[in-house]
Structure 1
Amino acid sequence: MNPEIRAAVVEFGTISGESLAQNVIAALLYFAIGVVVLAAGFLMVDLLTPGNLRQMVFVERRPNAVAVACGMYAALATVVVSAIVSSSNELGQGLVDAAVYGLVGVLLQGLALVVLEVVVPGRFRDLIADERLHPAAIATAVTLLAVGGVNAAALS
């Protein structure tokens, strides 16, 4: 074959339907684990803050509730991603690893919120429903991100 023509040829190699199907199933199962962990995190924040967090975030658009919920989601997503990347090559064990590490992440995020409530002056939980963004909401979101980052790094 002419070297110029050979340079233009793209080699795809072999395509494995079995491997593709297994990876699609793994992606769907890891997605389900991620949804469960994020839902658990949302419920945990809802329990630790006054009022209905879902109502405040999605209906009333309270900026403090949105900031804290977003910090929680980003932190837990970091934990779940790290758990998936560092989990076992065996799918079953990997799913268990991701679920356990994700739920430990939820507990650590809850602990971080409780510690903030104890050590920070004033009651942050009372600011969640405010209509104006409060600097404490941003500080709380960043704290949650930091705790999530540390938790994720511990998994690798």
Structure 2
Amino acid sequence: MTAFALESGYWNSLGTGVGAIILYALVGLALMLVGFYAIDFTTPGNLRKMVSDGKPNAIIVTAAGMISMAFIVVLAVYASAGKLSEGLIAALVFGLVGIIAQVVSVRVIEKALGIDIGAALHSDTRTTEVLVVAAAHFALGLVVAVAIL
């Protein structure tokens, strides 16, 4: 009969890894919430209410914004590999700077293209300009995320 043995320090390593996952998840969640509120704050009207009311354009912009924020958070976490405390700080700082850069950039693109995002978000039907705004969120999220590397 073969004995089942674990390497010395296995449980300590496993516990450290689980702890890191939990802490990075909390930082990621905080950044995602900050990202959503940054989009909401810079968007005319109450974005949360428009989403809960089922406004299709608000849902599209919010979804694109959340995906772009996730890119930023994921690359911030990835770039911060190493010591846990330094990694968490770097992920938080890179994430916050990335969110600010991404939200400001999208608003500049809306202005440059003459998109009235407030009117589009309040509409009960999908509008073509919202696809441009969603693409801008997505693209700029990728650009900012890669810049973190």
Q: How much is the aligned-residue C-alpha RMSD, in angstroms?
A: 1.8
**Structure 1 length-normalised TM:** 0.86
Q: Percent identity?
A: 31
Unpaired segments ≥5 residues, structure 1 = 1-8
Unpaired segments ≥5 residues, structure 2 = none
Q: Which residue of 1 aligns with 2:25?
A: 31
Which residue identity does 2:130 align to in structure 1?
A: A
2:53 is aligned with 1:53: no
**Structure 2 length-normalised TM:** 0.90
Which residue identity does 1:115 align to in structure 2?
A: V
Distance 2:21 2:143 in 1: 25
Distance 2:81 2:36 in 1: 27
2:106 is aligned with 1:135: no
2:149 is aligned with 1:153: no
Q: CA deviation at 1:142?
A: 1.1
- The number of residue pairs the alignment matches comes to 146
Which residue identity does 1:22 align to in structure 2?
A: T
Q: Specify the SS of the correspondent of 2:123.
A: coil
Q: Specify the SS of the correspondent of 2:122.
A: coil
Q: CA deviation at 1:122?
A: 4.2
2:56 is aligned with 1:63: yes
Q: Could you give the per-residue CA deviations for residues 24-44 of structure 1, whole angstroms, max 9, x where no partner exists?
A: 111111111111111111111
Distance 1:143 1:84 in 2: 23
Which residue identity does 2:133 align to in structure 1?
A: T
Q: CA deviation at 1:121?
A: 2.1
Shift in alpha-carbon separation, 1:84–1:108, aligned structure 2, 3 A = same
Q: CA deviation at 1:20?
A: 0.8
Q: Which residue of 2 aligns with 1:41?
A: 35
Q: Which residue of 2 aligns with 1:93?
A: 86
Which residue identity does 1:29 align to in structure 2?
A: L
Runs of 4+ aligned residues of structure 1 deviating over 6 Å after TM superposition are none
Q: Is the 8 A contact 1:117 1:125 kept in 2?
A: no
Rg comparison, structure with higher value: 1
